[in-house]
Chains A and B, each alone.
Chain A
Amino acid sequence: MAQTILKQWGSKLAIAGAIVLYLLPLLGMDFSTYMTLTIAGLAMGMMLFLVASGLSIIFGLMDVINFAHGVCFAYGAYVAFSVFKYLNAWVTADSVFLNFGIFFIAIVAAFIVVAVVGMVVERVLVRRVYGSHLFQILITFGGMVVLTELIRIIWGPNDEVMPKPVSFAGNWNIFDIIILKYPIYAIALGLIVYAVIQLILKKTKVGKIVRAGVENPEMVQAMGHNIFLIFTGVFAVGAGLAAVGGLTMAIFNLQVYPDMGGAYLIFAFIIVIIGGLGSVTGSLVGALIVGLSYNYVAYLLPSLAVGVNILIMVIILLIKPTGLFAAGK
């Protein structure tokens, strides 16, 4: 009896359990703090989702673990840093229009530059080692080291302060709950990106080919589509998404540093392990879990903040080794 109930209602029970679990921190703090932390957690989750989704799609389609993905994140942040420096007047101007303009320009610039970097990485490094996981890991790891060092050569080895557009600072005060502006923008950006990815995957022909490629690349090739062109394209888009995540995270933390990719790559790995490799929705759910838990625990028990993500990963690996939303494979 109990087993049939578990089977029928398993997913709903899990969702209910998760909601209860995420309401628990309320016991340790008052409501306005809880809301602030929740919004910060959701924002962090959205930024991490941008990184993890690219990693996840690349794995799902191409069966490649890309250790150089974190560096794409750092490149996005640094390109945005350069754009902000070059058009500093727009950043410091007290005009919502100009601020959003520069934000948009930075996103487009970061996306394009890093997509080109991703294309080069795919063409030069990854293409030669399709099919061998060990060599993929080794090669992309080497690529990560080289690209990180290139950041140090191009932008210098020191930490830099990332400026924040003027109208992105500040907060709204709704019923005594202080809501920072920027996290809301970040959440909105993440949701838009998620919607666009889903639309492209579900409604366009390219999306159909990509989804078919996740299921069975050989068959897609047999149908007459150039799978390698799609590989390159998906790799570039994945890298570009990581770059957008990097620039939003850099504005959030107000700093850029050459090693930032490594730290967030670990987060991205944890997220895709939790969510299931190859699934965009899984990345979103995993990222929100990681972002929220990190923020709650960082407030309640600061020293355990990083450990809690490892702990969640371990629990999920024990319950469901394939992750929450396992894709076709």
Chain B
Amino acid sequence: MAEQTPVQIFRRQERQKQYRSGTFFLKLAVLLLFILVPFLFPSFKSLDLALKIMIFAVLVASFDILLGYTGILSFGHVMFFGIGAYSVALLIGKYGNPTYINLVIGFIVALGITSALALIVSFLSLRVKAIFFAMVTLAIAEFAIILATKLSGFTGGEDGIIMSMPGIFKVSFNMGKFLGVEITGRLITYYFILVVCLGLFLLMIRFINSPLGRVMQAIRDNEPRAEAIGYKTFIVKSISICFGCLVSTILGGLYAMWVGYANPESVLGIPIMLDVLLMEIVGGMGTLYGGLAGAAFLEFAHSFLPDLQNFAKSLFPGAHFLHAAMERWLLIFGILFIMVVFFFPKGIIGSVQDFMARRKTAPSI
């Protein structure tokens, strides 16, 4: 072969290492674990936990495209999640019947609304300074919550919308046993969501490593310079916002398919946004896989914190203030959040990566 540029040599080395490194097998193992969850832990609780970890991992990764890769903090990300959930719920549950075609239409409508809204939001708020973006998106997200609560004739208000799924996604669907586990509609939904999530995740990795993704990272690191080199930062940022929001919308629809309802508290609320933010920070900004670590950590904490509370109660039976504090798990999460931002600003994955890099370079120095 003819002369290779240093970049090409570097890329070839990377490609050769790709399928031999330890992290590659770790990723495969995690995927395998998700596939085997229904067989290893055949209870609804574990299945629910695994699915929530999955959806939130991908949601956080899509948030990471904005925050970690483009340097835009948006508080409206969960709003798009809610748009996905609501349009699927409206088309299947309230204004239609549970058929496959309605499901598909629901997703398409949601994607249409999201792309329009994301474009409007980005055109409006990217005109102003970066910090304004957080404030504007927070205002718009709050407005969406109020809209969903107040327009009770259309969205069902606080109670939201309950729906049942079409055909093979139906909870009561059953097609016999396989390896001692009943193949129910739940299980099929689980695998369907797993496949879509995997696809979205791979798509995001591809997006980040594309030339456009590199430009996004340049904008994050030094926006005036990226602009001076000649990139249209405004358009790149808009594309990044739209892409992240579209992924978020699809996930919202999937989440509604799994839980079977959509209400403001479960798909739109500020607590969900806080969860996503916390997962992002705990997992690590600027590492798509950080979402997985953060989501796993937080969802486990959600499901096992009640046990921890009882444990603390039995340990210190007299301290009433402590009990009151333990019951407010948001307090604990808030303190945890502040601690992580102060002491591990790179999160779990970021810190581990740093540690590995240091170990790798240490002997050669």
Contact = CB atoms under 8 A, between A and B. Distances in A.
Interface residues of A, number: 36
Nearest to B339: A142
Main secondary structure of the interface of B (DSSP, over half): helix
B207 interface: no
Contacts of B127: 317-318, 321
Nearest to B143: A310
B128 A317 contact: yes
Interface string B299-338: 0000000000000000000000100110010110111011
Contacts of A146: 331, 334-335, 338
A131 interface: no
A266 B142 contact: yes
B331 A149 contact: yes
Contacts of B281: 138
Contact of B143 (A150, A303, A306): A306
Contact of A317 (B124, B324, B338): B124
B270 interface: yes
B41 interface: no
B68 to A, nearest CB: 10
B134 interface: yes
A266 B134 CA distance: 11
A206 to B, nearest CB: 26
Nearest to A139: B341
Interface in A142-177: 142-143, 145-146, 148-150, 152-153
A83 interface: no
Contacts of A148: 330
A152 B328 contact: yes
Interface of A: 65, 125, 128, 133-135, 137-139, 141-143, 145-146, 148-150, 152-153, 262-263, 266, 269-270, 272-273, 303, 306-307, 310, 313-314, 317-318, 321-322
Interface of B: 67, 71, 73, 124-125, 127-128, 130-132, 134-136, 138-140, 142-143, 146-147, 150-151, 270, 274, 277, 281, 321, 324-325, 328, 330-331, 333-335, 337-338, 341-342, 345
Given A145-B337, A303-B150, 20 more contacts: A133-B130, A134-B71, A135-B345, A137-B134, A138-B73, A138-B337, A139-B338, A141-B274, A142-B334, A142-B335, A142-B337, A145-B330, A146-B331, A146-B334, A152-B328, A310-B140, A310-B143, A317-B127, A318-B124, A318-B127
